[in-house]
Each structure stands twice: as structure tokens, then as C-alpha cells.
Amino acid sequence: EKAGYDHFMLKEIYEQPKAYRDTLEGRLFPRYPWTYLPELSLTPERLKQFRNVHLVACGTAYHAGLVGKMAIERWARLPAEADVASEYRYRSPLASPETLVIVVSQSGETADTLAALREAKRRGAHTLAVTNVVGSTAAREADDVLFTRAGPEISVASTKAYTTQLLVLYVLALHLARVRGTLPDAEIEPVVRALGELPEQAESVLQQAGEIRGYAQEIASREHLFFLGRGLDFAVALEGSLKLKEISYIHSEAYAAGELKHGTLALIEEGTPIVALATQPELMSKTASNVREAMARGADVLGIVGAGSPSLSERQLTLPDTHPALMPAIAVVPLQLFAYYAAVARGYDVDKPRNLAKSVTVE
Ligand code: M6R
């Protein structure tokens, strides 16, 4: 059932190009109206009434929510917040009937996420579940549901569930933008086109697995490392860091690159490994200067950059060219492989990391 792969996690990483196709199938058009989400009960009138959006989830799904927040704010011009579900419930959230609350959950059974969903409903918000499991509690209880269509995810470490959550959130953000008239067609068109190209691009990133494996083997004996990035790259850095901790037990921290100098730079010494993401053209020079600061203190940097970027570090991976807003969907792939190969090099049970369960049904 692992189809020749050593672990479910690796199989699921390699299934991403197909999962991307399945997720997008029938949901995008190359021309107006661009998006098609007939499963939504929300009418255009109702979609126009929302005043704010809350994205609520745990772990990896929360990291997808962070990207969704940025896409919704940027394209649909709605104030959006992403929250960890176990915090959301207890902070008296400003959710009302004018709030769209999106819960993101692979399993649709995570206790904290379900509790947040119920809290949002109690406050009269319109709830929408983004989930992978048909018939799950979140799918049944939310007012609306969009399925991610990733196929079964067996490995505890979430991979294709995360990337397909990103894709659904991108389509939803475009849908909101189109209905609300906040993004001109000339700006929607390149995003829709780029979404369609993501499966092949994910494929081409997977072809760089050898290089990533080499780097993972080198750092496998280290006890801590950093992931750096700004904006969307910071959201991806958080996901890369979680993945690495979860299965390789190497301690890591994700930092907004500009924040490093406000304390954490003190931890950088000769040989400290850093994975630095710089996929956003308008942030490139700023991130590069933060990376230089770290290198001046001896950091050993692996750069992950977009096509056409100036060089960030001696050792770097170049991602295929896509719309900057979509970069997370391909930039995370090397980080998944990196965590996987580091865990394998350390001899751990990748699919069943210690202390963790696939679905967390206690609060
Ligand atoms: O099923 P869910 O998406 O609600 O699960 C949420 C988290 O428990 C989950 O994403 C967890 O962080 C993963 N094991 C990370 O790889």
C-alpha cells in the first residue's frame, strides 16, 4: 500500500502533483467567472455582506490558514485573522453574522478545531469547513464545506493535506475577490493561469530531491536550526520548522527574517544551520540583508529562492517561476523532503513520530 515508497510520508509528498490536479478540477476557468464553487450555499449577495474573516485551525492546518489570510486580505480586501483553534475559543472572538469563519482541518475531527467551530456558530458567524474527510464532524457541522480532495493521508506528518488546503484557500480568496469586485480581471487571470501550472512545478521541485537529501544528511546530527522568511515565506518557514521537529526531533525555530536582530541573532554562531526562504521579489533585498547578518556570524545557510532571484547564499535551491502569491505551494515541498530525509538519517519512525497521533481528539 506504500506503492514502493519506504514510508507513507514520502508517498504522500510525491502524490502532491496529482492531488493539486484533483483539488483544482472543475473549480477554475481560464476566463470570467474564473472560479466555480457550486458546493457553496453562499450567494453572491451573502458573500458581499461579510465584514471580516477568521481562519481557525491547528498545527499544519493553521499554517495553511496563515497563507489563506494573506490571500483573502490581498485579493478580497477583507480583514482576515488566522488563529490557533485552542486560543480562538477563549479570546472572546469578534465573530458575528457578518463574519466568515473558515475552519481548516485535514481530518475534520480535531477537538480544538471543532470547539472553535461551535464557538463561531454560537456567535452567529457563517462557518465554512475546509477539510479532506467527507462525512467528518467538521464537514457535517459547518454551514458550508469545501473538500480538499487530497486522498487519504496516513502519515502523521501532514504534507499533501497542507498543500491542497492552500489551493482551496487560494480559489476561495479569488472567488471572494471576484464576487466582491476587489480584483480586476487582469490581475485574476495570471493567478488562475499560475494555479493551473502548479502540478508540473511541484513535479519539477520533486526532481531536486537528491540535493535536499544531501543537505538533510549533513545537518542530521545537529541539535537546532532556524528557518527564516518574510511574509508568505515566514508562513512557509513555520510549516518547515514544524515538520522537521515533528519527525526528526531536531529543534528548530521559524523566524520572521527581520525579527532575528531583535534577540535571536544572539543564538547564531559558527556553523548554525539556517534554511532561508526568499521567494517574494519585493522582499528579496530585505531578506538577503538579514541572511548576510547571520552569515557574518558564521551561519551555514541553505537558500530557497524564486527563479530569477539574485543569489542569496552559496548553497541554494531555485524554485520554478510562479505567481509570488502561490509560492508557498511549491516552496514547502523541499522543506517536506528536508524533514523527511533528516528523520530517515536519524533512524526514526517517520510515519509514527513519538507522542503524536494523526488525529487529536482531545482539547
Ligand atoms: O486533522 P487536522 O488538520 O485538524 O490536524 C491538525 C494538526 O493536528 C495537524 O496538522 C498536525 O499539526 C500535523 N501532524 C502536522 O504535520
> How large is the average pLDDT for residues 127-131?
98
pLDDT at 353: 84
Question: Which residues pair with residue 99 across a beta bridge?
Answer: 52
For residue 132, give Cα distances in angstroms to 54, 105, 115.
Answer: 19, 7, 18
Q: Kindly state the DSSP code that residue 325 receives in the 8-state scheme.
A: G
CB 324: neighbour CB atoms within 10 A? Answer: 18
pLDDT tens digits, 53-76: 999 999 999 999 999 999 999 999
Q: What is the distance between the alpha carbons of residues 2 and 83, in angstroms, rounded to a whole number?
A: 34
Q: How confident is the model at residue 300 (pLDDT cuts 50, 70, 90)?
A: very high
* Ligand 1 lined by 291 (C-beta under 6 Å): no
Q: Ligand 1: distance of its center to the CA of 158 in Å?
A: 6
Average pLDDT score, the chain = 95
Mutate to test the pocket of ligand 1, among 110, 117, 163, 238 (most ligand atoms within 8 A of CB): 110
pLDDT at 355: 84
| Range name among 41-50, 173-182, 303-312 with the lowest pLDDT average | 303-312
C-alpha cell of residue 118:
461551535
pLDDT at 185: 96
* Ligand 1 lined by 136 (C-beta under 6 Å): no
For atom 7 of ligand 1, which residue has the closest CA? 59
Q: What is the distance between the alpha carbons of residues 277 and 274, in angstroms, rounded to a whole number?
A: 10
pTM: 0.97
Catalytic residues: 358
Q: Ligand 1: distance of its center to the CA of 119 in Å?
A: 20
